[in-house]
Amino acid sequence: MTKRRATKEETETAPPAADPFEMWRKFYEANETAWTKAAQETTSSEAFAEMQGRMLETFLAFQKGARDAMNTQLATLNLPSRDDVARLGELILGLEEKIDQLDDRVAAMGGKQKPSTGSARAKAAPRRKRRS
């Protein structure tokens, strides 16, 4: 079988080969435009804003109920809540700052500057785990 070569006239008059990427780009742009318009119309309406507000209020009420229920359960089990742990952390930081200030005052009174090794927490011995 012999292959036939296209003549110059045939190649000039033949339609150009379709570029699949160009077709995909046009399809994407057309869909993007349509979806953008629909999304803007939907989200700019007063009804949508009211619905979002109701959803937010519902979620916040659920979140508050869940938090209150968890705090009640933790109190029943005599376990600390997130607020308790945060409050304890603030107290510990305050104590560390006071210890550092006292350490600086004692060093100034003695006339000797001790090399600073960091906070009191870094100086403390590591805690051991309790045995069950």
Q: In this predicted structure, what is the pLDDT of residue 2? A: 58
Rg for the chain, CA atoms, rounded: 36
Pair 74, 107 in one domain: no
Residues 68 and 90 in one domain: no
Cα–Cα distance for residue pair 38/48, rounded to 1 Å: 13
pLDDT, position 90 = 97
Residues in the chain: 132
In a domain, 7, yes or no: no
Structurally, how many domains does the chain consist of?
2
Neighbouring residues of 80: CB distance < 8 A, sequence distance ≥ 6: 74, 88
Count other Cβ atoms within 10 Å, centred on residue 109.
8
Supply the pLDDT for residue 69: 96
What is the per-residue pLDDT for 122? 55
Torsion over CA: 45, 46, 48, 49 (sign)? positive
CA dihedral 61, 62, 64, 70 (to 10 degrees): 160
Alpha-carbon distance of 114 to 104, in angstroms, equals 9
Closest Cα to residue 117, out of 96, 132, 131?
96
Residue 87 shares a structural domain with residue 102:
yes
My answer on whether 97 and 66 are in the same domain is no
- Domain range for residue 67? 23-79
In-domain check, residue 94: yes
Residue 14 lies in a domain: no
pLDDT tens for each residue of the chain, 132 residues long: 556 665 665 555 656 677 889 999 999 999 999 999 999 999 999 999 999 999 999 999 999 999 999 999 999 999 999 999 999 999 999 999 999 999 999 999 986 555 555 555 555 555 666 665
Give yes or no: residues 45 and 72 share one domain: yes
